[in-house]
Amino acid sequence: MSDVKIGAYICKGCGLGDRLDTAALAKIAEREGKAAFAKEHDFLCSEAGVAMIREDIEKEGVNRVVIAACSRRAKTDAFAFDGDGVAVSRANLREGVIWARPDTEEARETTQEMAEDYVRMACAEVRYMTPPQPNPEAQTNRRILVVGGGVSGMTAALEAAKAGYEVTIVEKSGALGGWAAKLHRRVPDHAPYADPQETGVEAMIQSVEADPRIEVVLNARITRTSGAPGRFSADITTESGQTRTENFGAIIQASGFIPYDASKLPELGYGKTPDVVTQLELEELVRQAGGGPVKRPSDGKEVRSVVFVQCAGQRSDKEGHLPYCSGFCCTASIKQAMYFKDQNPDIDTTILYTDLRTPGYLEDFYRSGQRKGVIFTKGVASEVKPANGGGAVVHFKDLILDEDVQVEADLVVLATGMIPNSGVDIEKPEKREGQSDEDYQKALEEARVRMGLNPGEESVLNLQYRQGPDLPKLRYGFADSHFICFPYETRRTGIYATGPVRRPMDITQAMEDAVGATLKAIQALENAGKGRAAHPRVGDLSYPSFRRDGCTQCKRCTVECPFGAIDEDEERYPVFNESRCRRCGTCMGACPVRVISFENYSVDTVGQQIKAVDIPDEFSEKPRILVLACENDAYPALDMAAQNGIHYSPFVRIVPVRCLGSVNTIWVTDALNSGYDGVILMGCQKGENYQCHFVKGSEMAHYRMGKIGDSLEQLQLEVERVQTYEVAITDIERAPRLINEMEQLIEKIGMSPFKF
Amino acid sequence: MAKKTYHYYPGCTAEKNASASNYETSVMAMCEVLDIELKEIPDWNCCGASIGYAGGGELPRLAMNARNLAIAEQENPELDVVATCAACWLAQRETKERLLEDDALMKECNEALAEAGLKYEAKQRVRHMVEVLIEDIGYEELGKHVKKPLEGLKIAGYVGCQTNRPFGIAGESFENPKYLDKMIETVGAEPVEDYEKKVQCCGGALAFSEPEKSQAMIKDIIEAAYDGGADMIVTPCPVCQMNVEVYQEQINKRYGTKFKMPVVYYSTLLAVAYGKSAKEAGLDGQVIPATKLEEIAKR
Amino acid sequence: MSDLNAQMVEKYRNSFLKEVEANVEEGEWVKMCMQCGVCSGSCPLGPYWEHPPQEIFMMIRAGKREEVLKSESMWMCTSCYNCIVRCPRGLPITHIMHGLAHYAERLGLAPKQNPTRRFALMFWDNIAKHGRVNETVLSIKLYFMDGFSAGIKRALEMLPVGLGMLKAKRFNPWGLFFHKGCKGKRDIQKILAKAREIELAKAAKFGG
C-alpha cells in the first residue's frame, strides 16, 4: 500500500461550513485518516473545486480521493474521478449529517462528532479500495442466439440484424411463425384500431429468410448451453440427431407458450360437442370458410349465433385452471366476433366477460366491436351443454341483471389462456434430510405456484450451470426476474426471456417486448467485451475474486449466488464467471472464511469503516449504532428523509452496502465486539413480492442474521441489539424512526459492555 | 365599455307574476348598470324544459326551440341569443348543436318550421347571461361598478345542474365550477369554500311530482350551506332558486329543521352591490327575505 | 296493446336493441355502454331506480322489452345531466332515458300512474296549447290530478308555499283566466303537428 496517496476534500457549501467545524474535519482526515493532505473548499462541486482535485490527481499523484460533502448519490458527475488508478470514497456530511440533525446549539457537538466519524470512515474505506480494472480476459462474440422462431423470436432476430449483429434462430418445429402463423387475422396494431388486420407473419418469415445476417435452424433444439455473456457455447441438435456447437455473445429465449388444454374444461362443453371450440380452433374454422359463412362443425350448418366465453379455465383458483389473466384473449374474441359481423351483420355474437381487458389503444377496438353490433354481456358461464339438434346452450349468471340465464348458440368459443414454455423447474424441491413434512409441503406448494401449469418436462436451454438447466421461474412458470422493475432481466445474465415465455401477451406486446430484449442482449454482449456489468450496476468494472489458499471449498458462494454466476472446478473451488456476475456481493456475504472480495468493495473496505468510528466510553451516554443500508433503497430513503427535514439520532453511523446479501456476519460481530451498542440492517422487501435488485440478497441476509443469535449469546449480548428490516425507498419516515427506536432500546437495555 | 346588445329569451318563469319574475327584475337592473341592451325575441315560446320529453319527444321539442331561434335569426342574425333561465339556455343550445351536427334532423326541423313560414340556419350563438357577464364583460369590469360592497356576507354559490351540465361555462369544471364564487368575491362578499352541494341536483321538475325525494336533496343543499356558515345561497337558475327557497317550511316540518336560508340570484347580488334599491333588485320577490341584502340596499 | 306497439313487437321480435336504435332518441348509443356503472353511481335519485341506467342498457341488449318500457325507472330522471358528463364512453344517457320514456309513452306502455309521467304530460299539453307555460293552470291541474278531494288536500298542504309565492308576486291567481300564451299559438300548433307527423312517419318506416 506504499503507493496509496489520499487527498481529502472537505466542502463548506450547502451550509456545511456554518454547521460544522471543517478545519477540525481536515485535521482528522490528515492525522487519523492518514490523508497526505486535506483541503477545505467553499463550493467543492463547482468548476473550480473539481479542477483543484483534478490538478492534485495529475500533479500531486493523489490516487485515493475522499470527498467529504454531500451524499454519494448527489453530484456523481462532478466527482467522477474513479478509474485510471484513482478510487473515490464519499463522506456524506450533508444528507447524512447536517440535514439529518437540528441546527441548535445543543446538537452542535454530536453533529460535529457524526461528521468526524464519517470523515474517518471515508478515509479508511478509500485506503482499502483498489481502483477496479476491467478483466483482462474479457471477450465477446457478436452473434446472438434466438431460441424460438415465433413472432417474438423473429422480431428479435430482425431487430438484432438491423443493428448489425449476426443471429441464429433455433426453432424446434419445421416452420417459422409459431402460433401466430395459424391465425386468420390479428388484432390491429395501428389506428383506427377498428378492424382485424393481416397477421403479417408471412412477410416477417420472408424478411427473416432473406436477411443475410440471420441463420435459421428448423427442427432443432438446444441440447447444451455453457459459458457466459460474450462467450456462450451452445449445442444445436437437429431432429436427425446431428449436433453442432456454436458460440454466441448473448441469448434471447423466445420459446413462447403452450395453449391451455381445453379438455380440462368438460363443464364448458369442450369435448362433448364439436360445436364448442377454442379460439385457436375457430381461427382454423374461419380459414376453412375462406371468406364465406363459417360452418358449424357438428353438421355443417351455417353459424348464425356465436357465444364467446371469456376467461375459460383462467383467472380461477380451481385445480387445473390458470390463476392469471392471459391478457390477449379479450381482444382476440372481439376480433373473432368481427369475423362473423364483417361477413354477415345479422349473425348474433355475444361476448360473455367479467372484466374486459383491452390493453393499449385496443379500447378503440372494443368500441369498434360495439359499433359493429357485437353484444357484450357481463356474466360468468357456469355450464355449456350440447343442444338438441346441434350447437350448445350456455348457462351463465348475468352479473349486471343478477340472474341465471341460458342462451343457445350454433357455436361456442372458449377463450383459453397461455402457459409459458419455459423448461424445467430448476428449484424443484427434494425432501432434504431432517426436513419436516410440513416444510416440505410448503416447498412443494411454492413450486406449484412457481411453475403453474408449465409441464416442466423438457429443458429449453440445457444450461450447464451449477444451478440447473433452465431459467429460474418467477411465477406460474414464467421466466422473468421482476415483471415491473427489470423486464427481460432473467436471473441468468446475458440470457433474456421475451414474449409469452416471460409473461402472457399478445402479438403487439410480444413484438415490442422482443425489441427490448434484443437491446438488452446487445448491451450484455457489448459490456461483456469491455469487462463491465450490464445490469443493474451498469458499467461497474469491479468483479469478485477469491483467495484460493484460504478457500475451504464449502460451496456456499456457488449455491447462494442468485444469478448462477459461479461454477465449481473439479476440485470444487469456485469459478467466477465475471460476465454473468451482477456485482451484488452475495458471495462475499456468504463466505465464512472471507476470501471473496471486489477491488473496491470488500470485507475490509466496510470492516475498516466500522473500525474507524470513534467509540466513546460506556459512561459517555453516547451510544453508537451501526446501520448497514442497501444502496438502492434504504440509503436513498435516509437521504430523502434528511432532504425532507426529518431528523434522527446523532449516534448512528450509516454504511451503504451494495446489497444486504453482501453483508458478511463478521461485520456485525466485529462491530459488537468493538463496542457498538446496536446494529441495524436495512434491505429490500424479500420473498414472493421481492423488491431486491439482486432477487435473493435481502432474503439471504435475513436468513443469515436469523442465525446470529448464537454469536450474540456467546458475547452475552441481548439479541435485540441486532435488527434486520425490510425498508422500501418510500420509507422516508419509517427508516429514521427505526434508527430512533434503536436508540431508545439502547437507553432501555443499557450500553454495550464491550467499550474500550 | 361600449353598449352590448343581445337577443333576449326570458322564458316562461320570467313573465310578470311568474315564479322567477324577481330574477327578471334584478337582471334588468343589473343590465342597466352594465350597459347591456336586451332585445326580447318577439312572441317567444316555451323551450319545453327537460320535462317536456315525455309528451314532446325529440323532433317536436327541437322544433319548438328552433322557432325561437329562427325568429331571432330573422330579426338580426348578428346578435347572440341570451337566456337567463338554465333550462331555456340548455334547450336552445342543445337544439342549435343537435341541428348543426345532424343535417337530416335540421331538414326535418325546417320542414316543421315551414308550417309557420320560418327557416332556421343555426347562425347565432346561444348563451347564458352568466357567460355574457364572464366572457363579454369580465370580472374586473363587473367589479368596477360596485358601489356598495357586500362586505361581511358569506354566501354559498349553488351552481346546480343545468347551467353546469352538460355544457357548462367554458373553462369551468363540472365537479367544482368556480364562477359563482368569483362573482361573490367580485361584489365584496365571501364565498363558502368547498361548498359541498355546489352541483347537487335539487330535483328539478320532480319537486312537483316526487316532492319527498326532491326535498331530501334540497335539505342537503341547505344544510351544507349552513355548515359552511352561509348567510344566503346564490344561484344562476330559476328552478334551483325556487326549489331551494320555497319548500323550506315543508322541509322544516318533515325533518324538524329550522331552515330560513334566503336564496337569491347572482343578478340580485350585482344589482344590490351596484346601488340599486331593494325593489329594483327584486328583493321584494323573496319568499324568505334576504334581510342582510335589504339592509345593504337601504344604506 | 296499442297498434304501434303491436307493430313494433312484430318487427323487432328478436332484437329489442335494434328497435331502440331505430326509434329512441340517441338509441344508437345503447350498444356503446361498457357497463362501468358510473351513471348509476352519479344519479341523484340513483337509489330509487329499480333499474339504473347501466342496467337498463344491459336489459335492452338482453331483449327485455316489456320490463324496460314498462319500468318506472326512466321516469326518475331529474335531467341533472350528471351521468352525461361523467360517462367515460360519452353516452348521452339523459337523452336516452328521456327517449326511452317518451317511446314507452308513445307505445302506451309507460306506467300510467307514475306521477312524473303525469306531470310531464300535463306540462307538455300546457305548452303545446298555448306556447308558454301557464304556471297557475299547471299547478292546479297537478294538485287535482288524483281527483277532487285529493286535490283539495294537496292544495291545502301546498297552501303556505302558494301564499308565500303570492305574497312575493311570483304566483298569479288570475293566470287561471287571463294568461294569454303566445300570439303565434296557432303557428306553434302547426309546427308541432308537422314535427309529430314526420316522427311518426319515420317510426312507421322502420317499423313497417
Closest to C32 (Cβ–Cβ): which among A367, A378, A400?
A367
**Torsion of Cα atoms, A549 then A555 then A561 then A565, to 10°:** 70
Among residues B76, B101, B129, the one where a domain terminates is B129
Alpha helices in C71-174 (DSSP H): 82-86, 93-107, 115-130, 135-143, 148-167
Cross-strand bridge partners of residue A246: A234
Whether C9 has a pLDDT exceeding 70, the answer reads no
Among candidates C32, C58, C59 on the partner chain, residue whose Cβ is nearest the Cβ of A370: C32
> Which chain C residues are within 8 Å of A377, Cβ to Cβ?
58, 61-62
A718 in contact with C, Cβ within 8 Å: no
Exposed e or buried b per residue across A33-53, where buried means at least 16 C-beta atoms within 10 angstroms of its C-beta: bebbebbbbeebbeeebbebb
pLDDT digits (tens, 9 = 90+) for A201-221: 999 999 999 999 999 999 999
Domain residues of chain C, as ranges? 3-110, 115-194
CA distance B213 to B207: 8
| φ/ψ of residue C133, rounded to 5 | -70, 130
Question: What CATH class has A1-131?
Answer: alpha beta
- A397 has a chain C CB within 8 A of its CB: no
Q: Chain B: nearest CA to C78, how far in angstroms?
A: 6
Residues near B201 by Cβ (< 8 Å), separated by ≥ 6?
B160, B161, B217, C44, C45, C78, C80, C82
pLDDT tens for residues A401-453? 999 999 999 999 999 999 999 999 999 898 888 889 999 999 999 999 999 99
Nearest to A378 among C35, C59, C89 (CB): C35
- State the pLDDT at residue A278: 98
- ∠ CA C32-C34-C36, nearest 5°, is 145
The residue with cell 480476459 is A137
The answer to whether chain C touches chain A by having 3 or more C-beta pairs less than 8 angstroms apart is: yes
Is C54 touching A (CB cutoff 8 A)? yes
pLDDT in tens, A275-320: 999 999 999 999 999 999 999 999 999 999 999 999 999 999 999 9
Would you call B152 exposed, middle or buried from its count of C-beta atoms within 10 A (0-12, 13-18, 19+)? exposed
Residues B8, B101 within the same domain: yes
Chains near B (3 or more Cβ pairs under 8 Å): C
What is the total residue count of chain A?
756
Residues of C (44-73) whose Cβ lies below 8 Å from B: 44-45, 48
Task: Mark B210-221 as b/e (b = at least 16 C-beta within 10 Å).
Answer: bbebbbbbbbeb
SS3 A519: helix
Range of the domain at B154: 149-298
Residues B185, B182: Cα–Cα separation, whole Å:
5
Residue the block writes with cell 433444439:
A221
Q: In the predicted model, is pLDDT for residue C161 greater than 60?
A: yes
Q: What proportion of chain A, given as a percentage, has pLDDT over 70?
A: 100
User: Among all residues of chain C, which has the CA nearest to that of B285?
Assistant: C168
Using a CB-CB cut-off of 8 Å, the residues of chain C touching A398 are 58, 62
When CB atoms are compared, the residue of C31, C34, C58 closest to A401 is C58
Query: How does the average pLDDT of chain A come out, rounded?
Result: 95
* DSSP-derived 3-state class of residue C149: helix
Give me the number of domains chain B comprises. Answer: 2
For residue A672, give the H/E element and its range. helix A665-673
B-C Cβ pairs (cutoff 8 Å, strict): 223
Amino acid making up residue B202: C
Q: Are the C-beta atoms of C161 and B283 separated by less than 8 Å? A: no
pLDDT tens track for A688-709:
888 899 999 999 999 999 888 8
Asked if the Cβ–Cβ distance from C124 to B55 is below 8 Å, we say: yes
pLDDT tens across A567-582, in order? 999 999 999 998 999 9
Q: Which CATH superfamily is domain A262-416 in?
A: FAD/NAD(P)-binding domain (3.50.50.60)
Local structure of B161: helix, strand or coil: coil
What is the C-alpha separation between A610 and A672, in angstroms, rounded? 10
Give dist(CA A498, CA A514) in Å, integer. 6
Closest-approach residue (CA) in chain C for B15: C170
The residue among C25, C87, C106, C133 with the most chain B CBs within 10 A of its CB, best to mutate, is C133
Minimal CA separation from A301 to chain C, in Å: 20
High-pLDDT (> 90) share of chain A, %? 90
Going by C-alpha positions, the residue among C94, C102, C116 that lies closest to residue C23 is C102
Q: Quick check: B287 and C121 CB within 8 A?
A: no
**CA-based nearest distance C56→chain B, Å:** 18
Q: Best residue in C26, C28, C191, C200 to probe B by mutation, most B CBs within 10 Å?
A: C191
| Whether C105 and B55 lie within 8 Å, measured CB to CB | yes
**B18: CATH:** 1.20.1050.140
* B287–C117 CB contact, under 8 Å: no
The dihedral built from the CA positions of residue A705, A707, A710 and A713, taken in this order, carries a sign that is: positive
Residue B293 and residue B230 share a domain: yes
At a CB cut-off of 8 Å and minimum separation 6, what does A461 contact? Answer: A147, A222, A225, A251, A253, A423, A469, A470, A471, A495
Q: Give the position of cell 444502496.
A: A631
Identify residue B184 by its one-letter amino acid code.
I
Work out how many CB contacts closer than 8 A connect A with C. 33
Given a contact cutoff of 8 angstroms between Cβ atoms, the answer to whether B203 and B213 are in contact is yes
Report the gap between the CA of C34 and the closest CA in chain B (Å).
20
Fold for the domain defined by A143-259+421-530: FAD/NAD(P)-binding domain (3.50.50)
Segment C42-55 shows an average pLDDT of 96
| Dist. CA C107–CA C111, nearest whole Å | 11
pLDDT exceeds 60 at position A16: yes
Interface test with A, best of C16, C19, C31 (most A CBs within 10 A): C31
Rg (CA), chain B: 19
Q: d(Cα B97, Cα C45) in Å, to the nearest integer? A: 28
Q: What is the CATH number of the domain that holds B163?
A: 3.40.50.11810
Write the pLDDT tens digit of every residue in A47-100.
999 999 999 999 999 999 999 999 999 999 999 998 778 999 999 999 999 999
- Chain C contact for A358, CB < 8 A? no
Task: Please name the fold of domain C3-110.
Answer: Fumarate Reductase Iron-sulfur Protein; Chain B, domain 2 (1.10.1060)
Strand partners, A723: A680
> Among all chains, which residue has been given the C-alpha cell 482535485?
A53
Do residue B54 and residue C25 have CB atoms under 8 angstroms apart?
Answer: no
Contact criterion met (CB < 8 Å) for C34 and A373 = no
Question: Is residue B254 a contact partner of residue B222, using CB atoms and an 8 Å limit?
Answer: no
* Minimum distance, in Å, between the CA of residue C13 and any CA atom of chain B: 24
Locate the chain C residue with the closest alpha carbon to B58: C25
In a domain, B15, yes or no: yes
The shortest CB-CB distance from B59 to any of C82, C85, C198 is to C198
**Domain identity same for B164 and B47:** no
- For residues B186 and B219, membership in a common domain is answered with yes
Q: Measured between beta carbons, which residues in chain C are less than 8 angstroms from residue A370?
A: 31-32, 34
pLDDT single digits (tens) B128-138: 999 999 999 99
Cβ of B166 within 8 Å of Cβ of C127? The answer is: no
User: In terms of domains, do B215 and B185 share one?
Assistant: yes
pLDDT at C12: 61
Within a 10 A sphere around the Cβ of C147, how many other Cβ atoms?
Answer: 9
Of C17, C35, C89, the CB nearest to A400: C35
Residues 6+ apart with CB under 8 A from A569: A575
Residue of C nearest to B159 (CA): C80
Residues of chain C numbered 117-176 and touching chain B (CB < 8 Å): 117-121, 123-125, 127-128, 131-133, 135, 139, 142, 157, 160-161, 164-165, 167-172, 175
Look over chain B and give the mean of its residue pLDDT values, rounded to a whole number: 96
Whether A346 contacts A374, CB under 8 Å: no
How confident is the model at residue A483, as a pLDDT?
Answer: 78
Give the nearest chain B residue to C157 (CA atoms).
B250
CB pair distance less than 8 Å for A398 and C62: yes
Give C36 to chain A, closest Cα distance, Å: 10
d(CA A529, CA A542): 14
pLDDT confidence bin for A687, thresholds 50/70/90 = confident
Tell me the whole-structure pTM to 2 decimals.
0.89
- Write the DSSP assignment of A353-395 as a string of letters: ESS----GGGHHHHHHHHHTT-EEEEEEEEEEEEPTTSSEEEE
Smallest Cβ–Cβ distance between C184 and the set B12, B43, B59 belongs to B43
Tell whether B81 and B186 lie within a shared domain: no
Give, in words, the CATH class of A615-756.
alpha beta
**B282 and B153 in one domain?**
yes
As for the ipTM of the complex, it is: 0.95
C175 vs B contacts (CB less than 8 Å):
17
The H or E element containing residue B73 is helix B59-75
Does B have 3 or more CB contacts under 8 Å with A?
no
> Do A376 and C59 make contact, defined as CB atoms within 8 angstroms?
no
- DSSP per position, C169-203: T---TTHHHH----TTHHHHHHHHHHHHHHHHHHH
Name the C residues in 63-102 with CB < 8 Å from any A CB: 64, 89
Closest-CA distance, C78 to chain A, in angstroms, reads 23
Give the pLDDT confidence of B195-233 residue by residue, as tens digits. 999 999 999 999 999 999 999 999 999 999 999 999 999
For C3-19, what is the mean pLDDT? 75
Chain C contact for A376, CB < 8 A? yes
Q: How far apart are CA B135 and CA A120, in angstroms?
A: 68
State how far the Cα of A250 lies from the Cα of A140, in Å rounded to an integer: 9
* Contact call for C98 and B210, based on CB within 8 A: no
Q: At what angle do helices A279-289 and A329-343 cross, to 10 degrees?
A: 20
